[in-house]
């Protein structure tokens, strides 16, 4: 546990070398303790932490430092590889001082997971955000309690200048306003991260824990509103800020005059002006802005340690604006902030089996501003509030309702009750280009069931899922077989086993529908009762419940924890048989070669290129025909990678990738950062040492995988130690310099006199007190400067100069003469000049000699000026 003490009530803390002040909390003997560490299931050592308070992303977003300070482990390349950002300046570094001061401090609500909530990390709330069992573009459908229970989520209030929206705010300020959740990535962010996809899911501040991991809620997936991601996974960053009402923007507008939906340029990042969008306003006119695009791609937090309760570096004393109660303001001061109400009038029929099709009766109303329109699943818009819609296929259907104030509701109705007549299905494993044999499956859609024998020593065993073509609601299944106790690592007590089904069921919260997975047994046996009994036969008739929606999957279970393998049982002759089945079946299958097969199902294998025609006649006289075209390419594509360095560097590496395929053509290149591109020639930037895997696929499915190891990046300066020693007579000294570099090694040491020594240790002699500069370089070009101070030498104090004398011999002869000023030698020939100096103590210096030769022939200049210096 880290302890911090101070005798101050409040303070202004300056972040790094910037003059931008951050108001800090009053600190008086507070203890910064860990949260969530009491439960090892979080696995923050592997996955990182979803706790916002001391997260890496929070401290980076709020920092103006050129080198950001981190409370927990920094987001280093040792932990995060190419997605590290511990060496990057803080987000606010490139904002002007005026812009920094124009950002308000926001007191906002972040959602914590249940482990953090139960170990001192919450300020309130009683539940965690629910899991999303299915993908959909509606947050209300994925998190059906979000409207009713938003204020009941485990939460903690934090004060920030820059923050991330929580999952409720994403719904309230974005989706409820009809804005898309998917966001494009800025050009500078794509270039910096070598990211080739156009969109990327982005981070929220909502944590979510499962039994074996800690996760962050992410939004804006291409096929889903929200999913969960590991904190160490790099995702999109979409900052949120409030501006002070009186701040004047570059367009000369005051922040308080901006309207919801306005876009404005404010601040810079990665060399580009940032474009922000107003998504809400407080009652006292603080506009809430989020960036229009994803501005960077970063992990939320680094794995390897637990999280501290507080940030040591983002600690504001008070907020300027408070949104902890999640205020919402409509456009143009509208008083209506409630979306339309969507209601299924014949909802009781959703749980009744319907033949061929189902007619849904819907009523949409808005009692305040009035209904504007309803967008139907087929894309059409209608203005009427009461209507019918016919479904002939089982799946989820999305309706979008908008009122005249601009509130949107994204409603989803899961249709799973249509008993579609059986039909023939002809399915090819692939069509067009392929790199392997093509399997053609011919069957009827009512041909479901299971037969088999297997041993089980884990909690759950999953058998093949039945196809979702029709509904199994209220249908009977006969389950027969034998179960035998095989062995045990411990004595059974109350453990049970059984057979049954797992499936997705439909429920509702208010007018919204939910989909969740459930598990239901058809029988139960106690293990202790099976021991020593041999094979025990069973026969059950199981009726599929009327809340069934889809994904019916036979399943057997031993009632033990997931990690246990203490008991082994064997199921033999296990059979699942659908009793309530129609009499539809296949009468005749005509294969491409003309051969006829008289059976209900058939599998054909195609191993050569060509066009193949299958014809199937059912017992109702209908012929189904399908043409399968096969193109075979079994040669792998080619991937060339250039730019792998063979010497050390302290800069990022830019690789050149070139893919080619001579037959089916290149389909895509998959990159180490999970993005992909269909371009054949690209560049990829690497900022950290590590292993990087590149994959190129051709259109037939062949893949070439290349993994490269980068070890040549060294951005760490050498470490230098120095020692000063003074001789016994204190007339001279020695500076010993020793340098080490664990990566690229020491290249040279530059001495104070400019001499370069290609050694890792040197000794430098000095005879004067003073400061001596040394510069050490490693083989990657990193430098470390050290200044060594010497002050232990005893240097005699001079008495001063008394006089300077000189004498001339040769062409001119002159005895010792007092030197007063420069003089001329004009006689032709050789003259020897001697000089000496007297100090005031009577000491005489050594005699210095200089020879002068004058030739008067040419040129005409026939005199030399001599100037003696002391």
For the cut 50, the answer to whether the pLDDT of residue 803 exceeds it is yes
Q: Domain ends where: 732, 760, 790?
A: 790
The CA–CA distances, whole Å, from 764 to 385, 444, 696, 732, 746 equal 90, 90, 57, 11, 18
Mean pLDDT of 756-783: 96
For the cut 90, the answer to whether the pLDDT of residue 824 exceeds it is no
User: pLDDT tens-digit profile of 35-84?
Assistant: 866 655 678 888 899 999 999 999 999 999 999 999 999 999 999 999 99
Q: Domain ends where: 710, 739, 770?
A: 710
Q: Residue holding tokens 């050149």?
A: 656
Are 385 and 487 in a shared domain?
no
For the cut 90, the answer to whether the pLDDT of residue 863 exceeds it is no
> Tokens at residue 468, please?
């979702």
Residue 843 lies in a domain: yes
User: pLDDT tens-digit profile of 79-131?
Assistant: 999 999 999 999 999 999 999 999 999 999 999 999 899 888 999 999 999 88
- 842 contacts: CB under 8 Å, gap ≥ 6: none
User: pLDDT tens-digit profile of 580-615?
Assistant: 988 888 999 999 999 999 998 999 999 999 999 999
Residue 435 lies in a domain: no
Contact 128, 121 (CB under 8 A): no
Residue 132 to residue 738: CA distance in whole angstroms = 58
Burial tier of 531 (Cβ tally within 10 Å: 0-12, 13-18, 19+) = middle
Q: Residue holding tokens 């389950």?
A: 479
For the cut 70, the answer to whether the pLDDT of residue 137 exceeds it is yes
Give SS3 for 167.
Answer: helix
Residue 629 lies in a domain: no
Write phi, then psi, for 255 (nearest 5 degrees): -60, -35
Choose among 217, 235, 331, 214: nearest CA to 277.
331
Number of residues in the chain: 870
Centre a 10 Å sphere on the Cβ of residue 39 and count the other Cβ atoms it contains.
17
Kindly report which listed range (506-520, 590-604, 727-741) carries the lowest average pLDDT score: 506-520
For the sheet with 681-686, list strands across it.
638-642, 653-660, 681-686
Domain count, the chain: 6
Residue 356 lies in a domain: yes
Choose among 458, 448, 342, 474: nearest CA to 403.
342
HEC string for 97-156: HHHHHHECCEEEEEECCHHHHHHHHCCECCECCCCCCCCCCCHHHHCCCHHHHHHHECEE
pLDDT band at residue 352 under the 50/70/90 scheme: confident
pLDDT at residue 15 in the model: 31
Contact 280, 270 (CB under 8 A): no
Instruction: Tell me which H or E stretch contains 783.
Output: strand 783-790
Structural domain harbouring 371:
341-419
Are 691 and 745 in a shared domain?
no
360, β-bridge pairs:
389
Are 54 and 176 in a shared domain?
yes
Helices (H) and strands (E) in the chain, counts: 10, 64
Residue 718 to residue 724: CA distance in whole angstroms = 20
pLDDT band at residue 331 under the 50/70/90 scheme: low
Are 79 and 181 in a shared domain?
yes
Residue 533 to residue 497: CA distance in whole angstroms = 15
Give SS3 for 196.
Answer: coil
595, β-bridge pairs:
none
For the sheet with 476-488, list strands across it.
450-456, 567-578, 476-488, 535-543
Are 211 and 123 in a shared domain?
yes
Q: What is the mean pLDDT of the chain?
A: 91
Q: Domain ends where: 746, 762, 790?
A: 790
Residue 831 to residue 821: CA distance in whole angstroms = 19
Considering the chain, what percentage of its residues have pLDDT values greater than 90?
Answer: 76
pLDDT at residue 7 in the model: 28
User: pLDDT tens-digit profile of 675-721?
Assistant: 999 999 999 999 999 999 999 999 999 999 999 999 999 999 999 99
pLDDT at residue 469 in the model: 80
Are 759 and 665 in a shared domain?
no
DSSP 117: I
For the cut 70, the answer to whether the pLDDT of residue 404 exceeds it is yes
The CA–CA distances, whole Å, from 77 to 62, 500, 781 equal 21, 48, 19
Residue 693 lies in a domain: yes
For the cut 80, the answer to whether the pLDDT of residue 17 exceeds it is no
Choose among 484, 482, 524: nearest CA to 500.
524
> Tokens at residue 544, please?
């599929």
Q: How many CA atoms lie within 13 A of 569 on its CB side?
A: 34
Contact 596, 439 (CB under 8 A): no
Burial 135-172 (b: 16+ CB within 10 A, else e): ebbbbbbbbbbbbebbeebbbbebbbbbbbbbbbbbbb
Q: Residue holding tokens 């007190």?
A: 769
pLDDT at residue 146 in the model: 87
Kindly report which listed range (112-121, 261-270, 327-336) carries the lowest average pLDDT score: 327-336
Give SS3 for 406.
Answer: coil
Kindly report which listed range (34-38, 342-346, 829-833) carries the lowest average pLDDT score: 34-38
Instruction: Tell me which H or E stretch contains 100.
Output: helix 97-102
Q: Residue holding tokens 């020897």?
A: 832
CA dihedral 250, 252, 258, 263 (to 10 degrees): -40
Residue 24 lies in a domain: no
The sign one gets for the Cα dihedral 230, 231, 233, 234 is positive
Q: Residue holding tokens 């998959």?
A: 670
Residue 469 lies in a domain: yes
pLDDT band at residue 333 under the 50/70/90 scheme: low
Kindly report which listed range (1-5, 503-507, 625-629, 635-639) carries the lowest average pLDDT score: 1-5
Are 412 and 455 in a shared domain?
no
pLDDT at residue 861 in the model: 54
> Tokens at residue 235, please?
């995702």
Mean pLDDT of 322-333: 80
Are 452 and 543 in a shared domain?
yes
> Tokens at residue 798, please?
């001079």
Are 776 and 706 in a shared domain?
no
For the cut 70, the answer to whether the pLDDT of residue 830 exceeds it is yes
Q: Residue holding tokens 């997931």?
A: 562
pLDDT at residue 862 in the model: 55
pLDDT at residue 464 in the model: 94
Are 95 and 205 in a shared domain?
yes
pLDDT band at residue 30 under the 50/70/90 scheme: low
Contact 669, 682 (CB under 8 A): yes
Contact 645, 449 (CB under 8 A): no
Give SS3 for 116.
Answer: helix
Are 782 and 807 in a shared domain?
no
Residue 732 lies in a domain: yes
pLDDT at residue 402 in the model: 97
Are 320 and 258 in a shared domain?
yes
pLDDT at residue 311 in the model: 96
Mean pLDDT of 152-161: 96
Kindly report which listed range (170-184, 208-222, 637-651, 723-737) carries the lowest average pLDDT score: 208-222
Radius of gyration of the chain (CA): 40
């Amino acid at each position: 546990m880290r302890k911090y003490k101070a005798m101050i009530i409040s303070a202004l803390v300056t972040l790094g070398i910037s003059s931008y002040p951050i108001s800090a909390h009053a600190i008086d003997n507070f203890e910064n303790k860990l949260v969530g560490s009491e439960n090892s299931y979080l696995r923050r050592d592997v996955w990182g932490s979803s706790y916002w308070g001391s997260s890496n992303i929070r401290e980076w977003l709020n920092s103006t430092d050129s080198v950001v300070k981190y409370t927990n482990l920094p987001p280093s390349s040792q932990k995060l590889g190419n997605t590290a950002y511990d060496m990057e300046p803080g987000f606010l570094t490139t904002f002007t001082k005026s812009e920094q001061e124009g950002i308000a401090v926001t007191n906002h609500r972040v959602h914590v997971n249940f482990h953090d909530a139960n170990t001192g990390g919450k300020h309130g709330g009683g539940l965690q955000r629910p899991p999303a069992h299915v993908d959909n573009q509606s947050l209300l459908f994925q998190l059906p309690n979000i409207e009713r229970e938003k204020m009941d989520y485990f939460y903690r209030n934090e004060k920030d200048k820059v923050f991330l929206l929580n999952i409720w705010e994403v719904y309230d300020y974005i989706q409820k306003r009809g804005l898309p959740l998917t966001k494009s990535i800025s050009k500078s962010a794509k270039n910096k991260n070598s990211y080739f996809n156009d969109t990327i899911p982005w981070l929220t501040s909502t944590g979510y824990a499962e039994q074996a991991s800690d996760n962050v809620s992410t939004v804006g997936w291409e096929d889903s509103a929200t999913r969960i991601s590991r904190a160490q996974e790099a995702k999109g960053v979409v900052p949120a800020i409030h501006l002070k009402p009186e701040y004047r923007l570059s367009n000369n507008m005051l922040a308080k005059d901006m309207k919801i939906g306005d876009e404005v340029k404010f601040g810079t990042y990665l060399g580009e002006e940032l474009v922000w969008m107003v998504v809400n306003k407080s009652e006292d006119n603080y506009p809430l802005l989020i960036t229009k695009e994803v501005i960077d791609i970063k992990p939320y937090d680094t794995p390897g340690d637990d999280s501290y309760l507080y940030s040591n570096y983002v600690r504001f004393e008070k907020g300027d604006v408070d949104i902890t109660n999640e205020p919402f303001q409509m456009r143009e001061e509208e008083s209506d902030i409630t979306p339309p109400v969507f209601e299924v009038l014949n909802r009781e029929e959703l749980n009744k089996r319907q033949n061929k099709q189902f007619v849904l009766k819907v009523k949409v109303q808005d009692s305040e501003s009035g209904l504007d329109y309803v967008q139907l699943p087929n894309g059409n818009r209608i203005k009427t509030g009461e209507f019918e819609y016919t479904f002939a296929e089982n799946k989820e259907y999305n309706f979008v309702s908008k009122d005249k104030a601009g509130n949107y509701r994204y409603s989803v109705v899961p249709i799973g009750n249509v008993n579609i007549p059986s039909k023939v299905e002809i399915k090819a494993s692939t069509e067009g280009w392929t790199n392997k044999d093509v399997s053609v499956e011919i069957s009827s859609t009512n041909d479901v069931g299971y037969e088999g024998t297997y041993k089980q020593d884990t909690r759950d065993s999953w058998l093949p899922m039945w196809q979702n073509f029709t509904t199994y609601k209220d249908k009977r299944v006969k389950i027969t077989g034998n179960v035998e106790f095989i062995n045990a690592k411990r004595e059974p007590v109350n453990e049970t086993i059984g057979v049954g089904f797992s499936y997705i069921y439909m429920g509702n919260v208010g007018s919204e529908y939910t989909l969740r997975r459930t598990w239901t047994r058809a029988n139960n046996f106690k293990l202790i009762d099976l021991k020593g009994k041999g094979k025990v036969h069973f026969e059950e008739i199981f009726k599929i419940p009327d809340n069934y929606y889809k994904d019916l999957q036979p399943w057997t279970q031993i009632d033990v924890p997931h990690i246990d393998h203490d008991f082994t049982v064997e199921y033999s002759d296990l059979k699942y048989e659908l009793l309530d089945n129609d009499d539809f079946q296949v009468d005749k299958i005509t294969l491409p070669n003309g051969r006829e097969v008289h059976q209900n199902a058939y599998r054909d294998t195609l191993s050569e290129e060509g066009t193949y025609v299958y014809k199937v006649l059912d017992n109702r006289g209908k012929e189904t025909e399908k043409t399968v075209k096969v193109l075979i390419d079994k040669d792998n594509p080619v991937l060339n990678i250039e730019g792998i360095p063979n010497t050390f560097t302290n800069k990022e590496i830019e690789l050149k990738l070139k893919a080619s395929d001579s037959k089916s053509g290149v389909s895509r290149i998959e990159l180490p950062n999970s993005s992909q591109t269909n371009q054949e020639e690209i560049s990829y930037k690497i900022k950290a040492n590590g292993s990087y895997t590149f994959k190129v696929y051709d259109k037939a499915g062949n893949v070439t995988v290349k993994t490269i190891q980068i070890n040549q990046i060294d951005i760490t300066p050498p470490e230098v130690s120095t020692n000063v020693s003074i001789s016994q007579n204190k007339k001279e000294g020695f500076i010993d310099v020793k340098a080490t570099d664990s990566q690229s090694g020491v290249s040279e040491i530059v001495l104070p006199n400019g001499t370069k020594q290609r050694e890792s240790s040197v000794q430098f002699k000095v005879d004067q007190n003073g400061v001596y500069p040394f510069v050490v370089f490693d083989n990657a070009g990193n430098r470390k400067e050290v200044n060594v101070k010497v002050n232990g030498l005893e240097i005699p104090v001079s008495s001063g100069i008394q006089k300077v004398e000189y004498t001339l011999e040769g062409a001119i002869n002159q005895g010792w003469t007092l030197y007063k000023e420069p003089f001329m030698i004009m006689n032709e020939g050789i003259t020897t000049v001697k000089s000496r100096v007297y100090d005031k103590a009577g000491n005489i210096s050594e005699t210095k000699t200089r020879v002068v030769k004058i030739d008067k022939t040419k040129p005409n200049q026939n005199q030399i000026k001599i100037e003696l210096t002391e």
